[in-house]
């Protein structure tokens, strides 16, 4: 399963998700900072239709809302 997190570092909701990821020690999530890479910003808008972050792409399917993302990550631990 491919996991990609679209985020930027000063976004408090992104930080909430990133803190959870750091604390859980998982290393299976590719990070994409939309403020550092225009291509990442374009892809986020193409895939999700909006530029809201955090957005977790799960095999290319977008999931928004930091708390929903954390719940999903809890239910789907790194293998």
Ligand X SMILES: N[C@@H](CCC(=O)N[C@@H](CS)C(=O)NCC(=O)O)C(=O)O
Site for ligand X in 13-32 (CB under 6 A): 13
Largest CA distance in the chain: 31
Instruction: Tell me the C-alpha to C-alpha distance, in Å, between residue 71 and each of 25, 46, 56, 76.
Output: 16, 25, 12, 9
Question: Quick check: 65 binds ligand X (CB under 6 A)?
Answer: yes
24 vs 67, beta carbon nearer ligand X: 67
* Residue selected from 56, 66, 70, 73 as contacting ligand X according to rule CB under 6 A: 66
Q: Which residues bind ligand X (CB under 6 A)?
A: 11-13, 50-54, 65-66
């Amino acid at each position: 399963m491919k996991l990609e997190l679209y985020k930027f570092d000063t976004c408090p909701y992104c930080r909430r998700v990133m803190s959870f990821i750091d604390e859980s020690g998982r290393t299976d999530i590719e990070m994409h900072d939309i403020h550092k890479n225009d291509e990442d910003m374009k892809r986020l808008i193409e895939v999700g239709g909006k530029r809201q972050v955090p957005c977790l792409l799960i095999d290319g399917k977008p999931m928004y809302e930091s708390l929903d993302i954390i719940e999903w990550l809890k239910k789907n631990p790194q293998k």
